[in-house]
A = this chain, B = another copy of it.
Amino acid sequence: MKILFLIPVCLSLILSSCAQRPEPCKSPPLLEGALSAFIPGQHLRVFEKFSYDAYGHNVRVLAAGKEGNQTFFVDRLLLFKEGVNYEIHYHNKTCIKKALKEPFRHIGVPHDAHFLNQMVLGSSSLPEQGLLVNNWNGTVEETKEHYLLTFTAFGCVPLYTLDFTQQGELSVMTSFFDLVEGIEDPNVFIPPSFCDSVEVLPAKGGAGARSFISLL
């Protein structure tokens, strides 16, 4: 009789302990915010304001950075369903359109990532003094490059990503901040009218799109 009582108790204990192990996750489908990326190999620092729409597979990025002594600014709209990568220059109303071959990638922890540990950034003693996060690592199947990810334990919000080369050297360090769920102005995903008549050039490596994807 006692054993019959113990079986469901043990089962529920096992299940609850399984449930506590974090699972890979997708970030909120609509996100706006900022990221800063550091690419040590190129002595490149990039600051990006981005809008991310995982429903429509759209990304808009305003990127400013410094490569060596040179500063740059890029306004890029990536419409993955349409397959076009827009580089928009409002100051002279010009537009460069390139074919976008890369698939849209959701922000999140890849399904084959390995859970490392959970920690509180800061303190757990009082609210607003710390943040419960999960750390993950893994390898990108196609490139065999390693990554290390930090996402919030609640809500799967990205905080840090570290990408390493096959040789284990840091290639990109990204930190996310000032994020909000939702898109303040849905027009950010509509290309300006002066882009309409511009021809789409074939993608040659698609460096811009790839680099944003690799940053995310």
Contacts and interface: CB of A to CB of B under 8 A. Distances in A.
Interface size class of A (residues with CB under 8 A): 20 to 34
Nearest to A30: B125
Interface in A117-134: 119-132
Question: Chain A interface secondary structure, helix, strand, loop or mixed?
Answer: strand
Number of this chain's copies in the complex: 2
A137 interface: no
Interface string A119-156: 11111111111111000000000000000000011110
Interface of A: 28, 31, 33, 119-132, 152-155, 157-159, 175-182
Given A123-B181, A128-B132, 16 more contacts: A119-B177, A121-B131, A121-B159, A122-B159, A123-B179, A124-B178, A125-B181, A125-B182, A127-B127, A128-B131, A128-B152, A129-B152, A130-B131, A130-B152, A130-B179, A131-B131
